[in-house]
Amino acid sequence: MGRTALELMGQGGLGYSFDPLVADAADQYGSALKDLMPSLAQVRGLHQYIPLFEAIVPARWRRTVAELIPAPPLKRIMHIVDTLGTRSAEIFQTKKQALLAGDEALKEQVGEGKDLISVLLKANMAASKEDKLPEDELIGQMSTLTFAAMDTTSNALSLTLWRLAQNPEVQNTLRKEILEAQEARGGGDIGYDDLVALPFLDAVCRETLRVHTPSPFRFRETHRDVVLPLSEPIRGKDGRMMHELHIPKNTSVFIGINASNTNQALWGPDAYEWKPERWLSPLPDAVLDAKIPGVYANLMTFWGGGRACIGFKFSQLEMKVVLAVLLSHFTFELTEKRIWWNMATVQYPSADPRGEHPGLPLKTMPLKAILVHGDVPPEHMQRPGDLVVVVHAATASARMLGGSRSARLRSIQAAAAAAVFTRAASRKRRKLSRSRMLKHRWRADTPVTEGSAGSVRVERPVQGVRLPTPNVLAVTCTSVQGVTSPSLKAILGPSVREASGMGMGDVPA
């Protein structure tokens, strides 16, 4: 999720492609951003000494002194800061040169100069001398915007997938809504207006952002004396009821966003429960009457007022697009591993209790698996994201034909699932490849036509999910290196029937 969020923010916010999700390893910039919060969490005890450090150490000596401190997490943080600063400076110079070169150069950039940083640079170049921002501040803004957009949204998506894996009935309902929207457009991508209008998708996103605020608290410091009115009176230490609080200047204030979002006095006794359906009916009067000052859905998730998150619309759209793509191609289940949700300003998942290795392991299964023998001609290619699995002929019988028919079908499904979704499954893919079960996979560009040679239709959806269109397994020929139609019949069992009548006569109708 982190790589996806970084790439979307890179293209939309910076007009730059960090990581097109082709390589197995993440981009160095993305890895640095992902490691920043876990590294900061390991030195949280040093935060209180930062003002003292700044007061007694001149700015030009701070880096040298910091490098002398024997703390490995601190050294990792300095390396991360260097990585972010260097890449941001490179992107800044590239964007600046393109702006100076004119419109033709901008058209060659990602986003054609319509990204956030290009707009900011144009405005800064046109500003008066006293209003111009220095270049180092602009570069710092780039890193700040990217980090804010990547960590929070990627973790919100992880939380959503985790909840969907825990609640398969909710996952199936959401998938049905997404697939029906795709079918209404002839199987193509869902347009913006249709996507944001999907009620259950919106409800799932809202409920996740309510119960699991990616950044559940904030710290602020008052710059003047203020009187804070209370929505409900509270009893003070002296026993008197207070209707407002006097907060002196220079007071540190801790704001619990999650406490507001899950306040049982507003949301009811089930406030802590993840229930997307609550958004499909009118909200409780207590929520509406409370006049929560947030910019989103009567929640404080994206803050409010002049300090509200400037990218909250971008974040909502990103969540919906990613969920629509993933759920239309895969199902998600929990693994046996325990998931630890760690707190380092933002929540992030890990499979280890120390939280040193962020990640959310989930079982994934493709909704459509295509079993292929030999080369794949263009007419058998599928839409982007569909899975094509090549089963090595010499090992198909030995490894897949034993056991019951249901066990054989599960073997194919397991082999397919091991080869898809993310490059994080590369170890499993290599293991299967070494055993010669899986040789390769393709992501294709054009749909297979019904009735094409060698295609068979699955009567029973792979995961028991009722799809608007049936699953298809495409087979390019009936005999390759000893694997014949009877072998395919034995592998697939009663779950397929002949679709084209071309070369598949011994597959049961």
- Residue 24 has a pLDDT of 65
Place of tokens 């998506």: 157
Residue of 473, 363, 358, 489 whose CA lies nearest to 37: 358
Q: Does the annotation flag 205 for ligand binding?
A: no
Taking CA atoms, 444 is separated from 377, 478, 505, in Å, by 11, 22, 27
Q: What is the 3-state secondary structure (H, E, C) of 301-337?
A: CCCCHHHCCCCHHHHHHHHHHHHHHHHCCEEEEECCC
Cα–Cα distance for residue pair 38/368, rounded to 1 Å? 37
* pLDDT value at residue 262: 95
What secondary structure letter does DSSP report for 14? I
Q: What are phi and psi of 440, to 5 degrees?
A: -170, 170
159/476 Cα distance (integer angstroms): 40
In the prediction, which pLDDT does 368 show? 57
Per domain, the residue ranges of the chain are 2-151, 217-307, 367-498
Q: Are strands 362-366 and 369-372 parallel, antiparallel or unpaired?
A: unpaired
Name the E strands within 248-309. 252-256
**Which of 365, 378, 372 has the alpha carbon at shortest distance from 390?**
372
Whether residue 299 contacts residue 210, with contact meaning beta carbons closer than 8 Å, is answered with: yes
In 10 A of CB 460, how many CB atoms?
Answer: 12
CB 419 within 8 A of CB 442: no
CA geometry: angle 143, 145, 150, nearest 5 deg: 95
The contacts of residue 150 (CB under 8 Å, 6+ apart) are 2, 5, 6, 9, 30, 33, 34
What does the pLDDT look like over 440-449, one tens digit per residue?
Answer: 332 222 232 3
Give the orientation angle of helix 72-101 with respect to helix 59-68, to 10 degrees: 140
CB distance 84 to 32 below 8 Å = yes
3-state SS assignment for residue 490: helix
pLDDT in tens, the chain (509 residues): 878 888 888 888 888 888 777 666 677 888 888 788 778 777 777 777 787 888 888 888 888 888 888 888 888 889 998 998 899 899 889 888 888 887 777 777 777 778 888 888 888 888 888 888 888 888 888 888 888 888 889 889 999 999 999 999 999 999 999 999 998 888 778 999 999 999 999 999 999 999 999 888 888 888 999 998 888 899 988 899 999 999 999 898 888 899 999 999 999 999 999 999 999 999 999 999 888 889 999 999 998 888 888 889 999 999 999 999 999 888 899 988 888 888 777 888 888 887 777 888 888 876 654 444 334 444 444 444 444 333 332 233 323 334 444 444 444 444 433 333 222 233 333 333 333 333 333 222 223 232 222 333 333 333 332 323 333 333 322 222 223 333 333 333 333 333 222 222 222 22
Cα diameter, the chain = 89
Q: Check if the beta carbon of residue 324 is closer than 8 Å to that of residue 195.
A: yes
